[in-house]
Amino acid sequence: MNSRTVVITGGTRGIGFGMAADFLRRGHRVCITGRSQASVDQALQRLVARAPQASVVIGVACDAGSLTEVQNAWDQTIAAFGRVDIWINNAGVANPVYDFEQLTSADYQNVVNTNLIGVMNGCKVALLGMREQGHGQIYNFEGFGSDGRVTPGLSVYGATKRAVTYFTDALIKENAAKLVNVGFLSPGIVITDMIMQEADEMGPERWARTKRMYNILGDHVETVTAWLVDATLADYGKHGSRIAWLTPRKAAGRFFAAFVLRRKRNLFAELSA
């Protein structure tokens, strides 16, 4: 397999960090971005420790909501590696799990700027750069709300993810006959620090119900990211793909195992072990 150069926004933690580590283990070049230089530096140290045989990895401090900073991430990757083969718009934040009127304007503006404007900025920079170099693949992350599901407390986060799905569908149509391929990454429910934050915000009763569902349908980061990376590499050169870990069939199997076979999973106990 040809060695690829991959940019992952929001690659300092969670799914983005896990994918960065898995790309590196497979011998690819990676640029991760994070909001602060400190978070980037810490993530780079951890990546080198996890993937000592890694090819090359760099990190760039970048606010996804700033087009100028996103362009700088592209420019630094080109300076380091000469090209960008895969651009993954992963950077995302969640609003506090409260009813909308309880959120501050800073709360919801931050979510929109990162989850939606950040994806648009990443796509604009990558589309123009990849057309100039003659090839490339862009993936946008779906999340809760992408399929139209609604839950109280996630109004803003869900709205941004639903908007990202529409936006990506539009880009797929716009680029059908062009040099750049566009697709989706859909990780399902992954137990990250974003989800752990919900426990404090939901209250014990609501968190108990949510936790039960996460234990049925969820997975740890390393389980999902290894699969996503392999699937992404295999998908290179294809347009309009949706790479989905938690398919309807897999979800049905999880429910069958939980309620018919009485198989219990405790992802949170494993996380703290």
Catalogue the active-site residues: 157
Name the nearest CA neighbour of 14 among 68, 80, 92: 92
Residue 264 to residue 216: CA distance in whole angstroms: 8
Residue 202 to residue 19: CA distance in whole angstroms: 29
Among the residues of 65-190, which ranges form H helices?
67-81, 105-112, 118-133, 155-174
Residue 69 to residue 62: CA distance in whole angstroms: 5
Residue 203 to residue 143: CA distance in whole angstroms: 23
HSE-CB for 220 with a 13 A CA cutoff: 11
